[in-house]
Amino acid sequence: MKIFIDSANLKQIEQANDMGIIDGVTTNPSLMAKEGVYSDTEEHYKKICELLENVEGHVSAEVISTNYYDMIKEAQNIAQIHRNIVVKIPMIKDGIRAIAFLSNKNIKTNCTLIFSPIQALLAAKAGATYVSPFIGRLDDISHEGMNIIESIRLIFDNYSFDTQILAASIRSNMHVLSCAEIGVDVITSPFDVIQTLFNHPLTDLGLEKFLKDYKSLNS
Ligand code: E4P
């Protein structure tokens, strides 16, 4: 399972990459706005791609157009920024049409804002490189987000789609565990959740005891 960081913060991306377990990055317009990046988005995406060059990590950059022609124009511009850019396209009718066009041009796409398995099926049929089902936002409205992940895995396996399931809107360590058990291809997680993945109190206690015992013999 690949692990992406869901962030547009250069420091977080660099720190996460230094952990040695990061395979890529996802951003969205809200995350970009959080970093105060409004105009020079191209430069910012380029910096993120360069940070991940050691792993040739895919970096998702989202279009803000919502009609077919503007979307493909914007997507082609975004795709030129760096070889590892994946263009994020929203799950709307024009978006699916744009994904079909871009996939024929060998431009990598990530179909975002997926909230049902059928939406994922359409994106896969259009040739999306990734589909991004949003787990946390479904949980927020009392729908079990993990159910659509299971259903998408089943559908993609039924038809041997190449499209990768990129589980998004991850809010907890438990989301990551369930995704791994179901067998998603990628999870994208905020920096704070990634940090929790390393922790277990018994590891800390065990290490403390090992070091204490070692020192007692060597002092
Ligand atoms: C996906 O690529 C999105 O950027 C992201 O996971 C959305 O997460 P949120 O629901 O925490 O905003």
What SS3 string covers the chain? Answer: CEEEEECCCHHHHHHHHHCCCCCEEECCHHHHHHCCCCCCHHHHHHHHHHHCHHHCCEEEEECCCCCHHHHHHHHHHHHCCCCCEEEEEECCHHHHHHHHHHHHCCCCEEEEEECCHHHHHHHHHHCCCEEEEEHHHHHHCCCCHHHHHHHHHHHHHHHCCCCEEEEECCCCHHHHHHHHHHCCCEEEECHHHHHHCCCCHHHHHHHHHHHHHHHHHCC
pLDDT for 217 equals: 86
pLDDT for 86 equals: 98
Q: Which atom of ligand 1 is nearest to the CA of 31?
A: 4
3-12, 32-41, 173-182, range with the lowest pLDDT: 32-41
Q: Is 215 a catalytic residue?
A: no
Whole-number Å distance between alpha carbons of 191 and 28: 15
Q: Which atom of ligand 1 is nearest to the CA of 27?
A: 4
Q: Return the exposure string of 68-86: e unless at least 16 CB atoms fall within 10 Å of the residue's CB, then b.
A: beebbebbeebbebbebbb
pLDDT for 28 equals: 97
pLDDT for 168 equals: 98
pLDDT for 39 equals: 81
**Nearest 10 degrees: Cα torsion 63, 141, 148, 16:** 60
Average pLDDT rounded to a whole number, residues 99-109: 98
pLDDT score of 129 more than 80? yes
pLDDT for 19 equals: 97
Which residue has the CA at smallest separation from atom 11 of ligand 1? 169
Tell me the pLDDT tens digit for each residue of 45-96.
999 999 999 999 999 999 999 999 999 999 999 999 999 999 999 999 999 9
Tell me the pLDDT tens digit for each residue of 146-201.
999 999 999 999 999 999 999 999 999 999 999 999 999 999 999 999 999 999 99
pLDDT for 120 equals: 98
Q: Does the Cβ of 172 fall within 6 Å of ligand 1? A: no
pLDDT confidence bin for 218, thresholds 50/70/90:
confident
- Centre of ligand 1 from the C-alpha of residue 12, in Å: 16
Whole-number Å distance between alpha carbons of 2 and 17: 13
Tell me the pLDDT tens digit for each residue of 199-217.
999 999 999 999 999 999 8
pLDDT for 5 equals: 98
pTM of the model: 0.96
- Centre of ligand 1 from the C-alpha of residue 16, in Å: 17
pLDDT confidence bin for 219, thresholds 50/70/90:
confident
Which residue has the CA at smallest separation from atom 10 of ligand 1? 169
CA distances from 211 to 24, 104, 208 (A): 35, 58, 5
